[in-house]
Structure 1
């Protein structure tokens, strides 16, 4: 049963994680670190061995992933950070997701006919870039929970950028798939192509420009990202993008703030479970799944009919994702019925829809799982999203038992396809 719950959480929290070689380092005396890339995991474990906190390890991994996993995450994007304090027994979360520039309006991704552009047209280029949040997130997290000097956290990432790293199978696969789009993006090709073709797995890539940026951030702090030549470089790249040029200003960067948010918590059987609230959909969706399966004796069901147990989880996921599509958004701009989505009575009523004998069909014209009407919700049309692998997730536990984990993203693979100072810029606006 424990394995089922672990897998449910894993499926929901890492749905968008890019396929890569995951690596986990653990020591009884220092803690543990895990990420989707061995170089990043080693960076986190290096901080733990130096006496660092879980937060120190997680931030070192975030920086290292900027170098070695640019198709998925980095300082050109944003993230969600969760910290569990072992002594106090409570969780705090930081919202460091990207923000739209002031110039972004409701018609930004409409064509000349007034209809929404296809994603493949809207995604590449300047219009999709939001103000990155990861450096302000890192600044806040380190001030609250860091133990090591700020400068120390940058060392592994700088080594990787300047000395080079090995291209993974996953990265090589994305480079091949994006090569037609990159006809219009010479800066990306200059970094990630070898001999006129996408770099193959096993190739060595160096990124000295990113190394120089990391050294500036190491010396001058997060302000060096949100002022001066980094802002000028990003603004210039976005304004002169080969596709969909746009405006992002110094004021957009100056106005960016990471936000300390309350976690979303509820109970599941004898457990209290907390996660990241909106604009993340992680907590409400995981808790919705668990709420729908709570009426079943999952231990007995799994022991006697394991396929039926997986069937119940699968159907519960469909219920939760139907609500996710309709109701989850940025709570700063849209009313999200968080309490209603995890309401025990509401989830119990949703659970009654689960057909134990078979899955509900999804063929056109046949019955499927619609979104529900949670308490506090308002009428809204669901917009089915098309998600792709452009996100990563990593975790660290320190010797004191504090836990830090982070979901970091540039949204789609290689984000907007734009490069500024060696970093991939996100496409979060799409």
Structure 2
């Protein structure tokens, strides 16, 4: 059966050079929410990404003796071509990495930065009113200095084992020779055609002759191939000081909507920052995620920290769903008040995840009825003004375990579908700056996530590595805007508390409560609890919850991988 699965995948990729174990993306059984997609097992190494080509690119690198960093680079470079609406060289990323030699877990912040021209009022009009969100997204003012090229260079120099020319061979060939447009990409182009049409380069690439690319069409990108060749030969510097950087500046300056400026000094000032992971105890596990400009590590840690103070419930039990809904809402209240770029504000990581603080938050979640109100907590000396920022769900996640025992969890993004819709050098430019709060201050004071020069906007990306007895147990993450936090938390809870294997945990119906509305995934068993949750006082909404979780479990020396059936992800390994 495994050979048949792989052969089907290989045929779709027009390659048959090796025979990894693989799983095709299939639609979930909407009646139950569980997928027919199979759990994938391997003994040596494994990669899970959001696209079959990206998984294949990483698999070939791992098969050739490369490590997790090498495979990540191959997969990311491929995703920027085959899933361009979600991530790429024009965006940023957060990386959690466990190095088996040093036995150390660390994290790397490759989030975009705001240019020096940024003011707190960047997203206000001449009258001081907030811009309409999509008006701010499409054009120049939403573009931050990209972090992915510098991240690739930085991590490759530090940990890489194969030469970049070899690592990037697969995506370069794919860009030159072409690939078949997937159903997901074709639909995304159709859904975003109006925005793409506003920028000539993107319109010509994604909608030749005025019509969006269709599933199965062959798409080539010679400019992207040349950018990857430059990266392979010269590293990241041309992306930050040479013609490639200038092309980005020109694209932003000549945008048809909201022209903006990214200077040479903005590019020169960009750095990847190594940060301490943010870790929280959850039953016998230690759940570690990103600090930095991401709120994901703290919010996931708080949700699990609160849930861990109660006895585990069974899957689908009302009590467990009630606790999860309130724990999530409390975590989001703290996220909206305290989280931002730690190089600009004091982010109270330790206080928010301390036992005493979580004990108090758990008392609130333990009420019989749903919380009528879920205010942020109080941290001595910090009086930030609560604020939200809209994050749209176009991101990607990669999980990798290599044959050397290294483990990687990386979430990567250009933010909105097709980012700013501006293109340069064959790839899309991000709109990550719209993750800042549009309103920099209110009656309560300064907003922690307000725009500022060279500041990194707050993110919800939550690449996570779960440890058991100090050793990696799970690599997991998801796209999904601010819903990422709920998707990751649900997957971990479904495995640890509800006893599901990692694929079943990913496929299980999505449920989450960010700001007071309990969202339940349409067409799944979760929607059956709507009336019961409403009876507890929750405001409920049944809707599409299109996660894209990738996860790998390390269990008794065997690797077990899962990919979200809601998207086109694939797990490969030997």
TM-score by length of 2: 0.67
| 1:199–1:24 Cα change, 3 Å | farther
- Compared CA separation, residues 310 and 356, structure 1 to 2 (3 A): same
Match of 1:302 in 2: 314
Q: Give the superposition deviation at 1:24.
A: 9.0
**Which residue number in structure 1 is paired with residue 166 of structure 2?**
152
Shift of 1:415: 0.8
* 1:12 counterpart residue number: none
Distance 2:97 2:423 in 1: 31
**How far off is 1:359 after superposition?**
3.0
Three-state SS of the structure 1 residue aligned to 2:233 is helix
* Structure 1 residues 155-234: aligned runs within 5 Å: 155-234=169-248
- 3-state DSSP of counterpart to 1:395: strand
Correspondence 1:368 to 2:380: no
Superposed CA deviations along residues 71-91 of structure 1, whole A, max 9, x for unmatched, are 110010111111112343320
Per residue, is there more helix in 1 or in 2? 1
Cα distance in 1 between the residues matched to 2:204 and 2:46: 36
| 2:336 aligned to which of 314, 320, 325 | 325
Number of residue pairs matched?
Answer: 398
- Provide the residue aligned with 1:393 in structure 2: 397
Cα distance in 2 for residues equivalent to 1:371 and 1:204? 50
Q: 1:380 aligns with which of 375, 381, 384?
A: 384
Deviation at 1:318, TM superposition (A): 1.5
Q: Which residue matches 1:113?
A: 127
Cα distance between partner residues in 1 of 2:145 and 2:39: 31
Q: CA 1:53–1:385 in 2, change beyond 3 Å: closer, same or farther? A: same
Distance 2:104 2:41 in 1: 23
Q: State the secondary structure of the residue aligned to 1:404.
A: strand
- Offset of residue 194 of structure 1: 4.0
- Following superposition of structure 1 onto structure 2, how do residues 120-131 of structure 1 map, counting pairs within 5 Å? 120-131=134-145
In the alignment, the residues of structure 2 paired with residue 256 and residue 28 of structure 1 have an alpha-carbon distance, to the nearest angstrom, of: 39
What's 1:350 paired with?
A: 361
For structure 2, the 5+ residue unaligned runs are 1-36, 435-574
1:339-391 residue CA offsets vs partner (Å, 9 max, x unmatched): 1111111111111112554433xxxxxx2222222x34612222122221121
Structure-2 change in CA distance of 1:280 and 1:429 (3 Å): same
In structure 2, what is the equivalent of residue 16 of structure 1? Answer: none
Paired residue for 2:552? none
Partner SS state of residue 432, structure 2: coil
User: Displacement, 1:283?
Assistant: 1.0
In the TM superposition, what are the counterparts of 1:228-243 in structure 2 within 5 Å?
Answer: 228-243=242-257
5+ residue gaps, structure 1, are 1-21, 361-366
Partner of 2:43: 28
Give the structure with the higher percent strand: 2
Any conservation in 1 of the 2:91–2:430 contact (CA below 8 Å)? yes
Q: Give, in whole Å, the separation in 1 of the partners of 2:147 and 2:353.
A: 28
Q: What are the Cα deviations for residues 160-194 of structure 1, in whole angstroms up to 9, with x where unaligned?
A: 21122222233222212221223321211111114
Cα-to-partner distance string for 1:131-184 (whole Å, 9 max, x where unaligned):
101111111111221111122221121122112222223322221222122332
